[in-house]
Amino acid sequence: MIRDPDFGITGYTDRWSYRPGDTVSLHLTADAPSMASLALHRFRRFTPKDGAFELATERVEIGCDPFAIVPQQTRIGSCFEAALPDAAGLAQAFTLAVLARPTSIAEDGNGLLALASAAGALALDLLPGGSLALAVDGESAIALGGALPAGHWRALALTFDAARQTVGLAVHTPGGIRAATAPVPAGLFSGDLALTLASGRAPRTFNGRLEAPIVWRGALDPQEAFCRLEAFAAGAADLGPDTVAAWDFSRRMDSAVAVDAGPHGRDGRFVNLPTRAVKGARWTGSEQSFKHAPRDYASVHFHEDDLADAGWARAAAVALPETLDSGLYFLEIAGEAGCDVLPIFVTPKRRGAAAKLAFVAPTFTYLAYVNDRCLLHGANPEVLANRLLVLTPGDCHLAAHPEYGLSLYDTHADGAGVAYASRRRPCLTLRHTQRAWQGGIGGGLWNFGADLLILSWLEREGLAYEIVTDDDLDADPAALRPYDCVLTGSHPEYHTTASHDAFGGFLAAGGRLVYLGGNGFYWRVSTHPDHPETIELRRAEDGNRSWAAEPGEYYHAFDGAYGGLWRRNGRPPQALVGVGYTGQGFFRSHPYRYGEGCLDPRVSFLFEEPPAPGERLGATGVSGGGAAGIEIDRADTALGTPDHALVIASAAGFDDTYVLANEEVLVNRPTVVGHLTPLLRADLVFFETGAGGAVLSTGSVAFAGTLGDLPEDNDAARLVRRAVDRFLDPAPFPDPEAAR
């Protein structure tokens, strides 16, 4: 039997989606060096039992010898790095200038920049109150009190002159130039220099924005340096023959490369993906997209808690068998130090060869919520959940390890929203044991945990299926074409353009879709061209938001697309699946009640005998006690629900823990809670599409909890089974025009 993770060993895989024959790279840590072994298990069942859930798996034989695990360190915090060769003559004299705007300052200081060679180093730190402290070879050399306050742009210049054996620091403030010099030892620098921005001697990296760093040979007068820095920031093409490097952060916005606009092409790199496509020192508000006004967006926002890659060494690698069936698998790593269990999805080598039914694992949604700390530090989750909440071992381990990074629902140390999320780190919320406050009374299952109930139902029903992930759809929008019927997870909330197009293309070609969730197809995200394990989100203008993007920063750096809701991008969920997000409540779920639509002959295949309008559907469930709840969707022809769509059943009359979605509210008023607004309802909808296809949408995150419940007469599970059977039948559905 598979063990539960105790986090004595903790790890991550290099990605979440594999094919048979692929090699899985395991990155693991433990408190002390120890030995461990690896076992591979195929998921079979996730069953409610005695107030908890029992995981049933089937072991798969693989060849993997015991291996060593050692403690790993995580490099957290973003910065900029560049190499400056000895040939530039900087060991004799140089000037470095940059624009800087801190957003917050830690009590123990933040690093701002460092220059190091084999002989010596300079480090500039930012201290509370906006004071600057320059150290030479670790010894304090210059202090400028209050020179760089949080929330303000300032120009900085650092000069070095070997002949005079001096170093100088200058800041251009509204009151004039503040400058100081200090002696340095002879031969401070020799050979190549390494430049780091947003990191110095202080324990924390910089929180704030940097723009237009430029390096010249020779020790320039501060006034001249600031004039030339201003010209570079304004886009001047002639940077002068003494320019060593000039990094233009407005270029190649979709990469981790910092382009050198100078004559020598000494590109730098960004570590841990600081946020790009943000407003710079020259932004006026006249343009909202960096594509239209690059100079307005020539800054980069660094954070002390950015994390794109934990950077742990590989502890082990396992080759998946070539004959492995598509499905969900668990890698159980167990040893003297403890145990961790890492899920992976195995997609087929040739899609559709073994089954015409596919389950689309919403990996972008899982990633958006990875290491969600809202329970620990968020805005009153117990108020939203309407109950006292209990921390799980995963929650406690997450609280003890801030270096594992943040979710897209958290805010950085400076209050800015987290716009990037990466898989290359321990993802503690992606465990079969994790419970969440959003999961409702009962099971507390959310996202991955709730989707285990759908997969368990598929296994229980004996339905042959294959796994496809959001990542697969993003890489190949035609990935669903080999299938006759596709099932979503309980909460397919986040989609890239390509993954959204994949669903639309599948339906346009006559595919059949069962949308088994709620709040789906809601937020637009993008993937990084060089870091496909990372997604970007801009919470723009509308929607239920744990933070809001700053004005002028609604466009993604990764692909240049306008972020925010798909609804604001002209693709409301109703136009794709017939229903769209309307509100949420995280306490109790409710049954649907059948409406007149259930009597239409077009949906007779869903029933042995048509139910009577008013009868209940889904009155039990492990997610809040019913099939309709948590996050719910409604049909709305004004937002794209097809005119011929049938509302088969609806759940309404929700309690006042349910609140209407922000995008439905034009003016704040008290009529946004459960019993006061007719918009707060979950609609179960069916409609035919062109080319013989059809859609059945449940419009409820809690619906998966009903599939996971095991009463003798599970009407919700039976309805979905009949829908899947018909959707797998090649007989075409009638043309939607005939259904009008």
What pLDDT score does 667 carry? 82
Residue 51, phi-psi category: left (phi > 0), alpha (psi -120 to 50), beta (remainder): left
Give the chain's domains with CATH numbers: 9-72+312-346 (2.60.40.2950), 79-302 (2.60.120.200), 363-739 (no CATH)
At residue 711, the pLDDT reads: 79
Distances (CA, A) of 374 to 43, 146, 523: 29, 34, 19
Query: Which residues have a Cβ under 8 Å from the Cβ of 50 and sit 6 or more positions away?
Result: none
For the record, the structure tokens of 19 come out as 């094919």
Tokens, residue 383: 């108020």
Mean confidence (pLDDT) of the chain? 95
More confident of the two residues 256 and 393: 256
CB neighbour burial string for 78-102, b if at least 16 within 10 angstroms, e if fewer: bbbbbebeeebebbebbbbbbbbbb
Query: 587-634: per-residue pLDDT in tens?
Result: 999 999 999 999 999 999 999 999 999 999 999 999 999 999 999 999
The rounded percent of the chain whose pLDDT value lies above 90 is 90
pLDDT at position 379 over 80? no
Q: Say yes or no to pLDDT of 242 above 80.
A: yes
Sign of CA dihedral 600, 601, 606, 608: positive
In single-letter form, the type of residue at position 331 comes to L
Round to whole Å and give the CA distance between 513 and 640. Answer: 17
Question: C-alpha angle 630/631/632, rounded to 5°?
Answer: 115
Alpha helices in 173-212 (DSSP H): none
Radius of gyration of the chain (CA): 28
Closest CA to 366 of 449, 279, 310, 462: 449
Q: Is residue 725 within a helix (H) or strand (E), and if so which, with residue range?
A: helix 715-728
Alpha-carbon span 701 to 547, nearest angstrom = 22
Rounded mean pLDDT of 471-495? 98
Contacts of 343 (CB under 8 A, 6+ apart): 16, 328, 329, 330, 331, 430, 431, 432, 448
Q: What burial letters (b/e) apply to 653-664, b meaning 16+ CB within 10 Å?
A: ebeebbbbbebb
Place of tokens 């003297």: 336
Whole-number Å distance between alpha carbons of 360 and 502: 11
Cα–Cα distance measured from residue 102 to residue 420, given in angstroms and rounded to the nearest whole number: 20
Give the residue with greater pLDDT, 347 vs 735. Answer: 347
**Which of 366 and 712 is assigned the larger pLDDT?**
366
How far is 140 from 119, CA to CA, in rounded Å?
17
With a cut of 80, say whether residue 674 has pLDDT above it. no
CA distance 288 to 285: 7
What one-character DSSP code corresponds to residue 3?
P
Task: Give dist(CA 451, CA 448) in Å, integer.
Answer: 5
